[in-house]
Amino acid sequence: STMAAPAPTVAKSPPALVPPAGPTPGGTLPLSSIDKTAAVRVMVDFIQVFQSAPSSADDQVAAMRQGFARALVPYYPVAGRIAEPSPGEPLVDCTGEGVWFVEAAASCSLADVNGLEDRPLAIPKADLIPRPPADHKLEDQILLAQITKFSCGGYAVGICFSHLVFDGQGAAQFLTAVGEMARGLPEPSVKPIVEISLDSIKRVKDQVAAETAQRCSTFDVVTAIIFKCRAAAIGSAPDAEVRLGFAAGTRHLLGGSLPSPDGYYGNCVYPGGLARASKEVTEASLVEIVTAIREAKDALSARFLDWLGGGAKDSHYNVSLDYGTLVVTDWSHVGFNDVDYGFGEPTYVFTLNDDVNIVPSVVYLKPPKPKQGIRLVLQCVEEPHAAVFTQELEKLA
């Protein structure tokens, strides 16, 4: 009989601070009301997988460390810490301490763990994601990084960031700057994983165009597919309400409030969603569901601008967090797939917030290169409903 391969191990260096490469302003910065509303005080963990083997690994890690140090000068708040001098009023204390950086080496190649594509993970999450030293509170940190080198020369970069300070697009913007600095540029310019092919997405887009003379996004199509399949699978009473919750990026609506929305890296998302009777969703065509999602997005933009202009204070869309609700997060074009720390763009990026399973959720990812389409990380149905959900999805994917 063949011996089972030993479980892969990861040896980590103790976390070390990477401070800004030059002097930075001190003082405290209040969080915007969007930051405080949009984000509970959670840390977001994700991993970028890089298959390519750079020429000299040690130089690469040093360059990446230097990239963080240099990016922290313009992005100096990231080198600070979150403080809460009065309860419920967190702020950023610009201490300039820096970000925690962990170097690690895995005992196996990326191929040995199938590029980290499987669930459950072949290597425990704790081995791949950085955490501060024991005497520092995780929720006070703004960003931490870990680079794990595999025996094949590939890497996994684990990032943990505070959602109070960044949204996904903002964190990607900061990491893009880190990558540009690392490459020596002078300044910053569920358990089952399913794929929905570009063909299926295009087919629905064409139907929407034909029937409504409207264009729709990939997000609209994929969300409609999941919402419809899930409504069919969970077997709610026909008149029971099923809900969809999502946060839409609202950077493009900030033109009037910011000198330029391009450099803004705080939270710029606003909650939206829709609720319908279960029977309506299961019987509706995908085109009808896409239209409802588009209307919800338009309503969200209007509510956001109203709220920004000092209008309705309580106009946030509060979705009840229970099994009737599906929360969708789109990571497929946030920007984490385009970050190049000096060894090329990641072949695959995925989130690791499986432990935050208070509400059924779906995350949209770009599939590992060179595949096209959308890869879904689903954590959205209980075991008894999983088989029907998968069958429904396969009809449409």
CB atoms within 10 A of CB 59: 11
The answer to whether residues 150 and 9 touch, using CB atoms and an 8 Å cutoff, is: no
The catalytic position among 112, 140, 338, 340 is: 340
**20 preceded by a cis bond (ω within 30 of 0):** no
Residue 192 to residue 360: CA distance in whole angstroms: 14
Task: Please say if 340 is a catalytic residue.
Answer: yes
Instruction: Give the closest residue to 91 by CA, choosing from 106, 75, 80, 105.
Output: 80
Dihedrals φ, ψ of 259, to 5°?
Answer: -60, -40
Q: Which residues 6+ apart lie within 8 Å of 314 measured at CB? A: none
Residue 336 to residue 325: CA distance in whole angstroms: 27
Question: CA distances (Å), 126 to each of 129, 175, 358, in order?
Answer: 5, 21, 20
β-strands 348-351, 43-50: how paired? antiparallel
CB atoms within 10 A of CB 328: 22
The catalytic position among 45, 127, 163, 220 is: 163
Question: CA distances (Å), 336 to each of 171, 179, 347, in order?
Answer: 8, 11, 11
Structure tokens belonging to residue 199: 């063909």
Task: Please say if 163 is a catalytic residue.
Answer: yes
Q: What is the dihedral of CA 166, 89, 356, 167, to 10 degrees?
A: -10
Rg (C-alpha) for the chain, rounded Å, is 22
The conformation of residue 8, written as its DSSP 8-state character, comes to P
Beta strands in 107-232 (DSSP E): 143-149, 155-162, 193-196
Beta bridge partners of 29: 92
Structure tokens belonging to residue 278: 């279960």
Catalytic amino acids? 163, 340
